[in-house]
Structure 1
Amino acid sequence: MTLHVDTKSTLDKWRPATPAQESLRQAFLGFLAAREDACQRSCEAGHITASAVLLDADSEHVLLTLHPRVGRWLQLGGHCEPTDTTLAGAALREAQEESGIADLRLEPEPVHLDVHPITCSLGLPTRHFDVRFAVRAPRGAQPVRSEESDDLRWWPVGALPAGSEDLAELLAAAR
């Protein structure tokens, strides 16, 4: 199974909790139907990305990365790689790479979708069609910052850093 097929299947099966998320799900499926390269970073029109909302064992804290290019605290995640065969696997890979935490547990269904404009590695304005998954860390997990982050830290779910208020809906869906 290819990543494109898995992504379409994942979104076909998922039933979001809100009308806004259902509307985005339909838009993502339309984009996937129109573009065989929708999961590839080289797709200039936009591309599917995979994110991980990494919660601690008690779901009281979320691990956020201070993204060097964006300059904001965000959930972990990024581009799908040619070796990724599932979208959930891409989200888990990103979470492990960016957190340095082993033994993460991934919820297999998405929890949230988002489309945002960005100038990423292509150097051109594009869009990320971001599919977000909930991931749980083992009790006592200590993150290790990677080169992909300016900072990495646990934040109380109810006290997100300034400028990250837009993550509240995502966190509610993940919890």
Structure 2
Amino acid sequence: MTIDITTAGLHADAVRSLRDWSVADADQEQLRLDYLAHLDAHPDGLWRSCLPAHITASAVVVDPSAGRVLLTLHPKVGIWLQMGGHCEPGDGTLAAAALREATEESGIAGLELLTADGLPTPVKLDRHRVRCTGKDQPENTHLDVQYVALAPAGAEALISEESLDLRWFAYDRLPELTDSSVRELVTLARGLTG
């Protein structure tokens, strides 16, 4: 892959974001180090074409004023998830990729990522197996960098073609079809946003 200035900038931002993010949890720290090793070994490590693994970006959309979280029923995996996906060439930063995905999939304008020291910061990492290259292709691994996106109070979501369904849920009433990673992310988001 030819590395252009945009690709190099996104790669450098991902390295900076992960390098500067401090975590107290030993499992999250190991994932952070694994992600950095992946990026060190793969200049194309943020792109879908990088196999068997690549970095992705996601954001859980919350409306703290109403104590609710927006989840999408993912058409490929059939469970409720946060918004997210693959980085694209127009994404200048990893946080921008997460915000773009959250905005596209939620239909909500004016989302803002949770920040620390004035910069959007990841809140959680999650490594999981998927079939994003096609159902007849081998599984690959998403190295997901997860953010929290704050919705304007009373925001109304608009379903996109990327969802089977899109709904707001009370923090303590998540749908049965969620996995432990989503539940952990929602708990974390709730704690960080009050």
C-alpha deviation, 1:164, in angstroms: 1.2
Q: 2:149 is paired with a residue of what secondary structure? A: strand
Runs (4 or more) in structure 1 with deviation over 6 Å come to none
After TM superposition, the structure 1 = structure 2 runs for residues 59-74 of structure 1, keeping only pairs within 5 Å, are: 60-74=67-81
C-alpha deviation, 1:58, in angstroms: 2.1
- Give the TM-score of the pair, scaled to structure 1: 0.95
Q: Size of the alignment, in residue pairs?
A: 175
After TM superposition, the structure 1 = structure 2 runs for residues 18-167 of structure 1, keeping only pairs within 5 Å, are: 18-58=25-65, 60-107=67-114, 108-121=120-133, 123-166=137-180, 167=182
C-alpha deviation, 1:168, in angstroms: 2.0
Q: 1:29 is paired with a residue of what secondary structure? A: helix
Is 2:187 the partner of 1:172?
Answer: yes
Unaligned runs of 5+ in 2: 1-7, 115-119
Residue identity in the other structure for 2:131: T
C-alpha deviation, 1:28, in angstroms: 0.6
- Partners of 2:109 and 2:17 in 1: how far apart? 25
C-alpha deviation, 1:121, in angstroms: 3.2
Identity value in percent: 51
Larger radius of gyration, structure 1 or 2? 2
Report if aligned partners of 2:66, 2:154 keep a CA contact under 8 Å in 1: no
- Partners of 1:139 and 1:3 in 2: how far apart? 31
Q: CA RMSD in A?
A: 1.3
- Give the TM-score of the pair, scaled to structure 2: 0.86
Q: 1:70 is paired with a residue of what secondary structure? A: coil
Comparing 148-157 with 16-25, which one deviates more in the overlay?
16-25
Partner of 2:9: 2
